Amino acid sequence: DIDYLEQLTRQAAATINRANTYSTILQYATLDALTNLNNRRQFETRLGQEIAIAKRQDNPLCAMMIDIDFFKGVNDKHGHAAGDEVLRTVASIIKDALRESDIPARYGGEEFAVLLPFTKLDEAKVVGERLRYAVESTPITINQDNPQKQDINITISMGLAEYNKTETGEALFERADKALYDAKTGGRNRVCVNI
């Protein structure tokens, strides 16, 4: 009986180790290492799933594209470590401002994307403005381990679009990206909508 229990214990330990390894690999495959948000690949997978749900259940779905204003200037003036801190802080603000069911991601560079399931465009605009204000009003401490640490303020521009039940996920995000472009060319630190 003792031999059997020892074998069972070894097998259980090996199974737990494999499960932990798989979980770690899955995390690396789906999360952005710097911000801990979904990475672009995972976001595109979730986009396909949410489009299918919105179509099947006739639910509203909104897409949000976010860009940190003048991010290159942060890197140029304060260095890449400061840029990384800005990205982490903005990601944290985005995550805290959203519901559990919303799907935020680091889309690339200083761009973020968010899916807002069960959300109409007017509701998404309220969320967007709240998020824009939260970023604008949150000082970000850079060079924290340095005697020259300082707080900087940044802003974001945002584009929103609502899924129209006939388009693809890519078309939805093209419209949100067009609205983001309008926000940036319109003066930045604003939310624009593509209807």
Catalytic residues: 110
- 67 and 110 Cβ atoms separated by less than 8 Å: yes
Closest by alpha carbon to 66, among 95, 34, 31?
A: 95
Rounded CA Rg of the chain: 21
- 77 and 62 Cβ atoms separated by less than 8 Å: no
- 49 and 111 Cβ atoms separated by less than 8 Å: no
- 117 and 59 Cβ atoms separated by less than 8 Å: yes
- Take residue 73 and report the two structure tokens written for it: 């200037």
- 193 and 176 Cβ atoms separated by less than 8 Å: no
Give the C-alpha separation, 9 to 6, whole Å.
5
Give the C-alpha separation, 65 to 158, whole Å.
6
- Take residue 71 and report the two structure tokens written for it: 């991010």
